[in-house]
């Protein structure tokens, strides 16, 4: 006997997994500033003053204040429609037995709070890390702007923000590469495509044969004519895209 119809149907669906990369644009409508847009975080700061290991060594108070201010804003914002619709996409892919990987460059926790499983390649604002004792990690409870937090494990006087700074290696690159090589659809949402290695994921997915769809307000730096560019607000474009993919991939 040949394969049954239900087997064939399931094989048809096995088009390769879905990989999503998000950037600051997906959280912009929630009220968190992006980096490179007008009014963005890098407008008032040079990145090397606050987001490098050298800056932390030279002026830890300045670096600490910058991240405390960003951390304080998290309490006042909520995940939006784009975050929520990516949770739906994850659930639908899981039901169909299709691999789904959400990678974010964002250090906010809006994907996590919406309910997504997410690989935070640039780390997380809400966490602190000890450089003195094997990188113990703990939650950032203190919001006093100028007070450093000592390490609960070894007593080191100042934990650092658990974020990936310029010149440091992002998290999960092996896992990300594996997911890209097996992906059939790649979505890039709200990123300017200016910072590598994250900006290179789009071309890796494209070269692996994935359908590549890009949402952003402005055309990102890494956009290629073969990409399907959907300009507009993530809160509008992403929910519509999720519906479209649900139909195209015949997700339950
Ligand atoms: N909907 C969709 N896209 C938006 C929206 C929105 N509402 N608002 C802004 N954008 C887009 C902008 O057009 C831009 O392309 O989001 C992108 C934001 O780009 P950046 O500010 O450069 O942010 P990002 O790409 O996430 O930065 C990458 O740079 O400084 C480092 O580590 C930091 O993770 C960060 C990395």
37, 119, 164, 198: which to mutate for ligand 1, most atoms within 8 A of CB? 37
Q: Which helix (H) or strand (E) holds 185?
A: strand 183-189
The pLDDT of residue 140: 83
Please tell me the pTM assigned to this model: 0.93
Domains, the chain, in order of start with CATH, read: 1-32+79-122+170-252 (3.40.50.1220), 37-76+125-163 (3.30.1600.10)
User: Burial of 9 by CB count in 10 Å (0-12 exposed, 13-18 middle, 19+ buried)?
Assistant: exposed
For residues 206 and 212, the answer to whether their CB atoms sit within 8 Å is yes
> Annotated binding site: which residue ranges?
67, 70, 105-108, 130, 133, 151, 154, 190-192, 234
Ligand 1, CB cutoff 6 Å, lining residues: 23-25, 28-29, 34-37, 40, 47, 105, 122, 190-192, 194-195, 215-218, 220, 233-234
CA distance 152 to 90: 36
CA distance 20 to 156: 37
Q: Is 122 a catalytic residue?
A: yes
> Annotated binding site for NAD(+): which residue ranges?
105-108, 190-192, 234
The pLDDT of residue 40: 84
User: What is the pLDDT tens value at each position of the chain, 252 positions in all?
Assistant: 333 333 334 444 346 899 999 999 999 999 999 998 888 887 777 887 899 999 999 999 999 999 998 999 999 999 999 999 999 999 999 999 999 999 999 999 999 999 999 999 999 999 999 999 977 788 887 777 778 999 989 999 999 999 999 999 999 999 999 999 999 999 999 999 999 999 999 999 999 999 999 999 999 999 999 999 999 999 999 999 999 999 999 999
36, 81, 170, 231: which to mutate for ligand 1, most atoms within 8 A of CB? 36
Q: Annotate 142-170 with b (16+ C-beta within 10 A) or e (fewer).
A: eeeeeeebebeeeebebbbbbbbbeeeeb
Atom of ligand 1 minimally distant from the CA of 106: 34
């Amino acid at each position: 006997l040949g394969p049954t119809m239900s087997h064939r149907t399931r094989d048809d669906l096995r088009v390769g997994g879905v990989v999503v990369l998000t950037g600051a644009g997906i959280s912009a409508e929630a009220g968190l500033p992006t980096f490179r847009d007008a009014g963005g975080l890098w407008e008032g700061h040079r990145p090397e003053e606050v987001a490098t290991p050298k800056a932390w060594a030279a002026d830890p108070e300045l670096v600490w204040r910058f991240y405390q201010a960003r951390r304080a804003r998290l309490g006042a914002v909520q995940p939006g429609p784009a975050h929520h619709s990516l949770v739906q996409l994850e659930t639908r892919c899981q039901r169909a037995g299709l691999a789904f990987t959400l990678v974010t460059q964002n250090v906010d926790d809006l994907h996590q709070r919406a309910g997504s499983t997410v690989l935070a390649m640039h780390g997380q604002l809400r966490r602190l890390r000890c450089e003195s004792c094997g990188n113990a990690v703990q939650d950032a409870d203190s919001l006093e702007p100028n007070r450093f937090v000592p390490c609960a494990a070894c007593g080191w006087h100042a934990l650092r923000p658990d974020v990936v700074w310029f010149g440091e290696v992002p998290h999960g690159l092996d896992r990300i590469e594996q997911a890209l090589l097996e992906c059939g659809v790649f979505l890039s949402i709200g990123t300017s495509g200016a910072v590598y290695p994250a900006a290179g994921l789009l071309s890796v997915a494209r070269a692996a044969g994935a359908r590549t769809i890009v949402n952003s307000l402005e055309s990102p730096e890494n956009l290629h004519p073969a990409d399907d560019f959907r300009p507009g607000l993530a809160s509008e474009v992403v929910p519509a895209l999720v519906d479209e993919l649900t139909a195209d991939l015949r997700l339950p």
